[in-house]
Structure 1
C-alpha cells in the first residue's frame, strides 16, 4: 500500500494545528451583553451569580470573573459584595466605549429605550454637524457625500434582496459619516468612527421599517444640497427632518431633546 508524502504532511499539519489551539470557551461577557442590550435584564436587575454561570458554561470562577470585569469596566454592571452583579442605569454606561458600541450594534435592536437614547443624542448633535459641514466642506468632502447618496439611491431602487438592503444601509451610514468628516474638526471626525455602530443600528432598523423610502431619500438629498449650496440653516433643518423620519420609522417619539427647536441659528 503506497502513501502520498504530501498528503501525510498536510494531515500532520492539521493535527498539530488542532493540538495547539484549544477550543474557544464560551464568553460570559458576550452572553450577558446580549441579554442586557436586548432588555432581558433591565437596569436594577441582578444578572446570574458567578457560581450559576460557572455551572451553566462549565468554566472556572476566575474566567467568569474576568468576563464580568469587561462589563464592569464598560459601566454596564456593578459588583455588590455579598449580593452579586447588578445592571446599572443607562446613564452610567460608557456608551462611547468601542466595545459598548459594538455590543449595541449587535444586540440592542429589540431595546426601544436604548434606541430612544441614541436617537435623542443624534437629534442634539447631527443638525449642528450638518450646519458646520455646510460652512466648511471642501470639494473632496462634497464628492464623498454625493457618492454615498448615489449609492443610497441606487441600492434603494434595487433593494429586492437582503444583500442589496444591507448595501443601502451601509451607504446611508457612509453618508452621515462623510458629513461628520466634512466639518474638518478632528473631534467630530473621530466621533463619527465611535458613533458608527450606533448610527448603523438606527439606520438599518429605520430603513427596514420605512413606509416611504423615497421620502427618506429626498430628505437626505436636501441635506446634501444644503451643504453643497453653503446654506447652514437649511442644512440644520434638513438634518433634523432626516432624524424625525428615522423616529417615525422606528415608532419612537423624537422628544424635546433636540436643542435646535429653541436655539437661534446664526
Structure 2
C-alpha cells in the first residue's frame, strides 16, 4: 500500500512511529506485505533517516514488523503483535478504524475474559467500586438519547468496563483492564456507529450493575456475556 493516504507527520520519531503503527492497526498494510523502505518513508515525510530507523525500531519491538537483511521489512502475522504492550495501547488510543480481523480478535478475548471479571467483581466489589459503576452507568444513561453525545457515551461505557475490572480487586485483571482500555474504546466506537439506538445496550449494562450490586457472581457473568453478545451484533460479527 502507498504512503500517500496517510495523514501528515507532526514531527519526531515517536509521532512517526505512532502514525505508522496506527496505519498498520487499521489494516493499511496486511500481514505478509512488504513495508515501505526507510528511504521512501524519509522522503515522503521529509524526515531524517535516523528518525525513520528509530520509528521502525519501535514498530519491530512491538511485533508489528520483521526486518531481515536482504528481504527488507515485512508486516508480521497478527498473532505475533504484542497487543498488550503499553506502547501498543498508546498507539491504539483514539483509533476507531481498527482492522476488522483485529476487531474480531479483541472481541473474542473480551468475550472469554469479561464474564469472569464481572463474576469476580460481584464477589469483591466494595462501596467505592459500586459508586464508580453507578456513576459510569448514570453517565451512559444521560448521554444515550442523543447522537451528538455518542463520543461522551463511549467514554462512560469504557469507564463502566474499567470500573468492573477494578472491582475484581485482582491485580492482574486490573492491569489488563488498563491495557485494554484503548481497544475497548475502539470497539465501542465501532459498535455505536452501527446502531441507531443504545437502549438495548443500556439495559444489558444495567443487568451487570444489578448483579454486581447484589453479589450474584453467576448472574454477573451471564449479564456480562449478554452485553458482549449485543456488541457482536452491533459490530456485525453475528447477525
TM-score by length of 2: 0.90
User: Which of 211, 215, 220 matches 1:226?
Assistant: 211
Q: What is the count of residue pairs matched by the alignment?
A: 229
Structure 2 gap ranges (5+): 1-9
Counterpart in the other structure of 2:3: none
Q: CA RMSD in A?
A: 1.8
User: Which of 166, 175, 183 matches 2:168?
Assistant: 183
Q: CA deviation at 1:211?
A: 4.1
User: Which of 90, 113, 120 matches 2:78?
Assistant: 90
Q: CA deviation at 1:60?
A: 2.8
CA contact 1:211–1:249 (8 Å) conserved in 2? no
Counterpart in the other structure of 1:215: 200
CA contact 2:12–2:51 (8 Å) conserved in 1? no
In the alignment, does 2:194 pair up with 1:206?
no
Counterpart in the other structure of 1:140: 128
Q: CA deviation at 1:118?
A: 0.6
Distance in 2 separating the partners of 1:174 and 1:191 = 14
Structure 1 gap ranges (5+): 1-22, 255-266
Distance in 2 separating the partners of 1:40 and 1:208 = 21
In the alignment, does 2:39 pair up with 1:51?
yes
CA deviation profile, 1:223-246 (whole Å, cap 9, x unmatched): 110111111111101100101101
CA deviation profile, 1:18-51 (whole Å, cap 9, x unmatched): xxxxx93574423322321121210011111112
User: Which of 48, 56, 81 matches 2:69?
Assistant: 81
CA deviation profile, 1:46-70 (whole Å, cap 9, x unmatched): 1111122222223332221111001
Distance in 1 separating the partners of 2:135 and 2:18 = 36
Counterpart in the other structure of 2:228: 243
User: Which of 166, 178, 181 matches 1:196?
Assistant: 181
Distance in 1 separating the partners of 2:16 and 2:130 = 44
Counterpart in the other structure of 2:48: 60
CA pair 212-24 structure 1, distance change in 2 beyond 3 A: closer
TM-score by length of 1: 0.81
CA contact 1:152–1:171 (8 Å) conserved in 2? yes
CA contact 1:170–1:200 (8 Å) conserved in 2? yes
Counterpart in the other structure of 2:139: 151
Which ranges of 4 or more aligned residues in structure 1 deviate by more than 6 Å? none
Distance in 1 separating the partners of 2:101 and 2:147 = 31
- The farther-off stretch of 106-115 and 168-177 is 106-115
Distance in 1 separating the partners of 2:147 and 2:103 = 26
Distance in 2 separating the partners of 1:142 and 1:60 = 51
CA pair 101-220 structure 1, distance change in 2 beyond 3 A: same
CA contact 2:96–2:189 (8 Å) conserved in 1? no
SS at match of 1:124: helix
SS at match of 1:209: coil
